[in-house]
Amino acid sequence: MVKHAWRPYETHREALRRAQKRVEDCHYLENLTSVDTLVALADWMLWVINLDDQFAVLVGQHEYERTRRVSPSSHAILGVKYAWNLTKHHSHELESVVEITAGMQFPAQFPTVFREITWLPFERLPTVEKRFQRIKGFAEQQDAYKGFLAGRAVRHLAPAVTEHLSGLAVEPRQPAKR
């Protein structure tokens, strides 16, 4: 049996890259439905959150948060978490955080864009109950959504986030010495 070099979460990273490709394809394939588009986006969001959480466990939450503060793409991850939490924990549908504009997009671009997926402006998002606003990390995620996602096209953000997580070099934390 041949042993292969192991890179942390390589399968997860590849799943993220493929999910991002499916989101990208949604912009350029003419005959997709809104449901096809939302499923691709949900898949990408789940892989972003999964990898982010796995790296935090591998490296240690505090160390990983220090790493995260350096990159604008990593700030956007917190905004993706905020959007996802609106759907997961607050019973809102994915359509409540994005807008899909179908039809050829102008100004004309090549390749031709047939659909735009845009994160909704913060003011148009559903409200969150006060009890959830006290959860650790809530304000940081909300601020990240406002600063990095709100009103922006998914196709401009997703590649940078995917590249950041796919290329992230992490060192596992060392066990505490006794």
Which H or E element spans position 98? strand 98-102
Residue with tokens 């909704």, as numbered in its chain: 120
For the stretch 76-114, pLDDT in tens is 999 999 999 988 876 678 888 999 987 666 666 667 777
- Cα–Cα distance for residue pair 129/110, rounded to 1 Å: 43
Query: For the whole model, what pTM was predicted?
Result: 0.85
- Cα–Cα distance for residue pair 82/127, rounded to 1 Å: 12
For the stretch 118-143, pLDDT in tens is 999 999 998 887 777 777 888 999 99
Is residue 146 within 8 Å of 138, Cβ to Cβ?
Answer: no
Which amino acid does the sequence have at 69? R
- Cα–Cα distance for residue pair 48/15, rounded to 1 Å: 10
Neighbours of 117 (CB within 10 A): 21
